[in-house]
Amino acid sequence: MKIREDEKRSHRMMLEQRLVLENEFERKRQAEKELLRNIEQLELQERALLQQRSRNELLDREIAVRRMKDDDMNRRLEVLKQKERVLKDKVQQKNDNYMIREVTTNDQIKLSTRIPTLPSFDGKNFEEWKLETVCMMRTGLYSDYAVSQAIRNSLKGDTRRILLTIKPSESAEELIAKMTENFGEVKSVERIVQEFYSAKQHETESCSAWGIRLEALFQQAVNKGEIEERKRDNKLKERFWRGLNSEQLKAATRVSYESSDSFEKLKRKTRLEEEENNQVNATGKTLVNQQSTDDRLKVLDEMLERLKTIEAQMSNMKKHNLEGKREYESYEATKSSDQERRQDRHTNGGLYYRGGYRRGRYPNRGQTRYHNQENESTAENKHSHLNEKSLSRQGTMEAKQN
């Protein structure tokens, strides 16, 4: 009985253990399934990431290829722009150098056989010289040979050396092309545009000269194709007013600048204001010059008065000096005569003494040295007195001059 209960108990315990093991196994199997699902999801995410990365790499390669194509396109555009500029320059040069003249049966203009005259060209102001030449060609009044000879005759100095590189049979158009290659404008387009927008009126430059210089810069920019001709009036008006050197002129013409006035009208008003300012300045300078002239004349009059005073003092000094000289000469003559008389008395008095030692009676004994010293001191006193008088007069003159 006891054995049977033990077996039942053990059987029950075994059943419980089996149930626990089955539950544990089921739990582990569920955990395994969960892990497998997670692994599958992670693998799917990994594959998605790989696909996304591959797509990104493809996009990066496409972007790099497009950038390369864009760079190539930019380079081609730059090359095309340069070609366009070169072609524009060539077309402009041909338009400037080519003489357009329609010859019809009813054309009554006769070509002149006289050699025309062009301004001398020494290497400076080429554009002005070229304009004169092109205008002469377009008139059609002269033959091509006459214009070519006029071009050769106008060359001066070192510029004539270019004739050594030109054939005698070349036309006027070819001569101008050769001159343009050697003396034409070599500034870049950017430099010309920069000079136009940064130009300012010089201190000594008039408004008229400033306007002409600005128009020349604008025309160069138009010829290079950087500024449109239709913007001519607005651009010139703006740059002309902003480039004025005088703030006073700017303030006087601000209303015209901000209004709808044209460039020419603004320039005329500016010139008028400049002329009025110049007249006011000239009047002020005249008054200042007149005042300075009056001051100078006053100083000259004072100097003349001083010179007259000095001349009078000099003449008085000369008179006093002559009088002193005469007194001194008379004094010297008196002194010499006194000395001769004393010497005669000494000589005659020595005859009465034995041995010629001049002992005994001597009327002036013991007085000769005293007389000589007294006479010398008197002469020195007179001479010093004259010197003091002359010095006192000179001091008085210097004091008056000062």
Q: Which residues pair with 121 in a beta bridge?
A: 155
Question: Quick one: 234 and 249 in the same domain?
Answer: yes
Is 383's pLDDT higher than 60? no
Question: Quick one: 195 and 272 in the same domain?
Answer: yes
pLDDT at 1: 67
Question: Quick one: 165 and 200 in the same domain?
Answer: no
Please say which residue of 280, 297, 317 terminates a domain: 280
What's the rounded Cα separation, in Å, for the pair 53 and 206? 72
Domain membership of residue 100 (yes or no) is no
Question: Quick one: 213 and 166 in the same domain?
Answer: no
Question: Quick one: 168 and 217 in the same domain?
Answer: no
Domain membership of residue 353 (yes or no) is no
Is 380's pLDDT higher than 80? no
Distances (CA, A) of 264 to 44, 61, 239, 291, 401: 79, 59, 13, 41, 65
Is 367's pLDDT higher than 50? no
Mean pLDDT for all residues in the chain = 78
Is 119's pLDDT higher than 80? yes
Would you mind telling me the total number of residues written for the chain in this entry? 402
Question: Quick one: 196 and 274 in the same domain?
Answer: yes
Domain membership of residue 159 (yes or no) is yes
Backbone angles phi, psi at 112, to 5 degrees: -80, 140
Under DSSP, is residue 112 helix (H, G, I), strand (E, B) or coil? strand
Question: Quick one: 158 and 236 in the same domain?
Answer: no
Q: DSSP character for 362? A: -
| Rounded average pLDDT over 368-376 | 47
Is 355's pLDDT higher than 50? no
Domain membership of residue 46 (yes or no) is no
pLDDT band of 358, cuts 50, 70, 90: very low
pLDDT at 36: 92
Q: Convert the pLDDT of each residue in 32-87 to its tens digit.
A: 999 999 999 999 999 999 999 988 999 888 998 988 988 889 888 888 988 888 88
Tokens found for residue 140: 């059609």
Distances (CA, A) of 288 to 113, 162, 214, 278, 295: 61, 56, 36, 15, 11
Q: Convert the pLDDT of each residue in 264-273 to its tens digit.
A: 998 999 999 8
What's the rounded Cα separation, in Å, for the pair 233 and 218? 10
Tokens found for residue 335: 């002194």
Under DSSP, is residue 11 helix (H, G, I), strand (E, B) or coil? helix
Under DSSP, is residue 103 helix (H, G, I), strand (E, B) or coil? coil
What's the rounded Cα separation, in Å, for the pair 77 and 212? 36
Please say which residue of 230, 245, 280 terminates a domain: 280
User: Which domain range does residue 220 map to?
Assistant: 189-280
pLDDT at 99: 47
pLDDT at 187: 78
Is 399's pLDDT higher than 70? no
Question: Quick one: 193 and 169 in the same domain?
Answer: no
Contact 70, 78 (CB under 8 A): no
Question: Quick one: 174 and 204 in the same domain?
Answer: no
Tokens found for residue 36: 């497998």
pLDDT at 352: 44
Q: Which residues pair with 270 in a beta bridge?
A: none
| Rounded average pLDDT over 82-109 | 63
Question: Quick one: 77 and 138 in the same domain?
Answer: no
Is 326's pLDDT higher than 60? yes
Is 401's pLDDT higher than 70? no
What's the rounded Cα separation, in Å, for the pair 131 and 97? 10
pLDDT band of 18, cuts 50, 70, 90: confident
Contact 323, 309 (CB under 8 A): no
Domain membership of residue 76 (yes or no) is yes
The 10 Å Cβ neighbour count of residue 140 is 15
3-state secondary structure 313-359: HHHHHHHHHHHHHHHHHHHHHHHHHHHHHHHHHHHHHHHHCHHHCCC
Domain membership of residue 275 (yes or no) is yes
175, with CB counted inside 10 A (0-12, 13-18, 19+), is buried
Q: What is the largest CA-CA distance in the chain?
A: 220
The 10 Å Cβ neighbour count of residue 236 is 21
Contact 176, 130 (CB under 8 A): yes
Its pTM stands at 0.41
pLDDT band of 210, cuts 50, 70, 90: very high
Domain count, the chain: 3
Contact 183, 159 (CB under 8 A): yes
- Higher model confidence: residue 378 or residue 322? 322
Please say which residue of 280, 298, 328 terminates a domain: 280
Tokens found for residue 179: 């001159």
Question: Quick one: 154 and 204 in the same domain?
Answer: no
pLDDT at 181: 86
Question: Quick one: 269 and 195 in the same domain?
Answer: yes
pLDDT band of 347, cuts 50, 70, 90: low
| Rounded average pLDDT over 19-39 | 90
pLDDT band of 362, cuts 50, 70, 90: very low
Domain membership of residue 250 (yes or no) is yes
What's the rounded Cα separation, in Å, for the pair 184 and 251? 39
Domain membership of residue 238 (yes or no) is yes
> Measuring CA to CA, which residue among 168, 167, 164, 162 is closest to residue 181?
162
Q: Convert the pLDDT of each residue in 231-263 to its tens digit.
A: 888 889 999 999 998 888 888 899 988 888 889
